[in-house]
Amino acid sequence: MEEEMHTDAKIRAESGTGSSPRGPGCSLRHFACEQNLLSRPDGSASFLQGVAEKSRERLIRNTCEAVVLGTLHPRTSITVVLQVVSDAGSLLACCLNAACMALVDAGVPMRALFCGVTCALDSDGTLVLDPTSKQEKEARAVLTFALDSVERKLLMSSTKGLYSDTELQQCLAAAQAASQHVFRFYRESLQRRYSKS
Amino acid sequence: MAAGFKTVEPLEYYRRFLKENCRPDGRELGEFRTTTVNIGSISTADGSALVKLGNTTVICGVKAEFAAPPTDAPDKGYVVPNVDLPPLCSSRFRSGPPGEEAQVASQFIADVIENSQIIQKEDLCISPGKLVWVLYCDLICLDYDGNILDACTFALLAALKNVQLPEVTINEETALAEVNLKKKSYLNIRTHPVATSFAVFDDTLLIVDPTGEEEHLATGTLTIVMDEEGKLCCLHKPGGSGLTGAKLQDCMSRAVTRHKEVKKLMDEVIKSMKPK
């Protein structure tokens, strides 16, 4: 008997430059999440963050494969459909977050949660987390990391541009600190959802 | 007896070797396979190189053609890479349109060219707004035994160093390009990106230059592309088991040593070719 689970994740991102203010103590833009908004699929989530392509698919797929406990569902196909509603920078990180939330909403057993964080390095070496499209274009290097929730290990990395080894370690440390905010947000949004129903 | 065990329990067979800090082919965990490079073997191409990393064989041919530059960048030429994994290199590939692995490899090579600025696109300009060079770099794998990305990057670098472009002048009266085949010059290669690939086993062990079997058994892969100043052009980790910052640091140092080895090899080959 075959079971097919579809998880649809709609990503909504605010457009416009310098729109929502960044929260205190965190340089990530404001984000919100809504779950179970589509009735047909088994699970769905919408992730709103800040206002190529087989390669990107493969990165997201491999990250999901590393955390999903596939051995508990033999002969099963899990399809994750990501539809970009609008792109205001940090697209890959947003896709990763949406994919993770959708898998949680569908009830797929996973060994850890994961989140995506993007860092941009501009010409004088300043680090900007969660850059807008304009900041990404002007940056010297843009690094996207996927980190797991258990030990903040690096699951996936995709980088563009030239940077040094020390800058990489700085970005990784900043991304690990920022991922705490994302995971706390996951927890809060799930608590809100299950306390209502 | 060992062959039977290997077929039935390949991972266990492998773990026995890893416990002794070596691999079935006798290499250490941080050792690369024998690398050989042959430059300029294809006479019909403007530049070519054949790289063998153990059994993995990749050949790169570069052809230069004329093209009109893009309107938003009238003084920039093009470098178009294409990686082809034909059925002859491994039974896992079928004939037909390029599969996912070939597309991902092509995208990887395109990213390396873009990020490392190996060639300044302005160097490929003949007449701004009218005529530029486009370099078609075709990488074909002849034998797939793991670590295709390292071999492709090395083949591309060697082939580009071998490319000789003829001098082109635009005739003012006829507005046609005149090619002087007798006067050829080498490309200005600004950086030398070298790729080092690792495979992650059981979430903890890192081995360098995985073979085809090792890639199949691994739980994750990582490729680092570094240039001679220690700057990173690409950190390609497509999912797989997690890595801590410290393990990443070890990989960096191995990548630095590998860069020196590859640079030395290439300098030797180029020196042996120059007197012709």
- Scanning B148-235, the segments in alpha helix (DSSP H) are 148-162, 212-217
Among A6-10, A131-135, A156-160, the range scoring the smallest mean pLDDT is A6-10
pLDDT score for A34: 67
- Domain membership of residue A131 (yes or no) is yes
- What pLDDT is stored for residue B196 in this prediction? 94
User: What domain count does chain A have?
Assistant: 1
Tell me whether residue A139 is in a domain.
Answer: yes
Q: What is the rounded CA–CA span in Å between residue B135 and residue B222?
A: 28
pLDDT of residue A56: 85
> Nearest-CA distance from B79 to chain A in Å?
17
Distances from the Cα of A182 to the Cα of A111, A149, B113, angstroms:
17, 10, 33
Cβ-based neighbour number of residue B157 at 10 Å: 26
Distance from CA of B117 to the nearest CA of A (A): 9
Q: In sequence order, which residues have a C-beta less than 8 Å from that of residue B188 and are 6 or more positions away?
A: B119, B120, B123
Per the CB < 8 A criterion, the answer to whether A154 and A63 are in contact is no
pLDDT of residue B255: 92
Q: Which residues in chain B have Cβ-Cβ distances shorter than 8 Å to A157?
A: 235-237
Q: From the first residue on, what is the mean pLDDT of each consecutive set of 10 residues in chain B (276 residues)?
A: 86 88 88 92 92 94 92 89 93 88 91 91 88 94 94 95 90 83 89 93 87 90 91 88 88 92 90 71
Say what the pLDDT of residue B127 is. 87
Question: CA-CA distance, A106 to A99, in Å (whole number)?
Answer: 11
Quick check: A44 and A7 in contact, CB under 8 A?
yes
Q: Which candidate from A55, A154, A173 shows the least CB-CB separation from B243?
A: A154
3-state secondary structure of B23: coil
Chain A residues touching B117 at Cβ < 8 A: 162
Say what the pLDDT of residue A39 is. 62
Q: What is the 3-state secondary structure (H, E, C) of chain A?
A: CCCEEEEEEEEECCCCCCCCCCCCCCCCCCEEEEECCCCCCCEEEEEEECCCHHHHHHHHHHHHHHHECHHHCCCCEEEEEEEECCCCCCHHHHHHHHHHHHHHHHCCCECCCEEEEEEEECCCCCEEECCCHHHHHHCCEEEEEEEECCCCCEEEEEEEECECHHHHHHHHHHHHHHHHHHHHHHHHHHHHHHHHC
Q: What is the ipTM of this complex?
A: 0.81
The pLDDT of residue A7 is above 50: no
**In this complex, which of A54, A160, A163 lies closest to B100 when CB atoms are compared?**
A54
Q: How many CB atoms lie within 10 A of CB A63?
A: 24
> Residue A114: its pLDDT value, please?
94
Neighbours of B168 (CB within 10 A): 15
Domain extent for A102: 53-73+88-193
Neighbours of A100 (CB within 10 A): 29
A156 is written with which tokens? 């996936």
Q: Say whether A154 and B111 touch across the interface (CB within 8 A).
A: no
Burial class (CB in 10 A: 0-12, 13-18, 19+), B208: buried
Domains of chain B plus CATH, in order, are 28-273 (3.30.230.70)
The tokens of B242 are what? 């997690």
Residue A140 belongs to domain with CATH number:
3.30.230.70
The residue behind tokens 């680092």 is B224
For residue B200, the chain A residue with the least C-alpha distance is A155
Mean pLDDT of A12-23: 37
Say whether B238 and A143 touch across the interface (CB within 8 A): no
pLDDT of residue A197: 61
Determine the residue of chain A that is closest to B250 in CA distance. Answer: A165
- Residue A14: pLDDT band with limits 50, 70, 90: very low
Mutation for B interface: A96, A111, A148, A155, most B CBs within 10 A? A155
Residue A25 has pLDDT above 90, yes or no: no
Q: Which residues from B are below 8 Å from A173, CB to CB?
A: 245
Q: How far apart are the first and last CA of chain A?
A: 31
pLDDT for position B275 = 59
Task: Give bridge partners of residue B138 from the DSSP assignment.
Answer: B61, B82
A4-12/A77-84 β-pairing: parallel
B contact test, residue of A92, A119, A168, A170 with most B CBs within 10 A: A168
* A163 with B231: Cβ contact below 8 A: yes
Residues of B near A (CB-CB distance < 8 A)?
A: 100, 103-104, 107-108, 111, 114-117, 219-220, 227, 230-245, 248-249, 252
Question: Which one of B108, B219, B235 has the shortest CB-CB distance to A168?
Answer: B235
Of A62, A168, A169, the CB nearest to B240: A62
Q: Round to whole Å and give the CA distance between B37 and B265.
A: 8
SS3 label, residue B39:
strand
Is A4 inside any structural domain? Answer: no
CA-nearest residue to B245 within chain A is A169
pLDDT of residue A37: 65
Round to whole Å and give the CA distance between A40 and A38.
6
Place of tokens 């075959």: A2
C-alpha closest to that of B195 among B87, B69, B65, B58: B58
Planar angle of CA A151, A153, A154, nearest 5 degrees:
160
Q: What is the pLDDT of residue B72?
A: 87
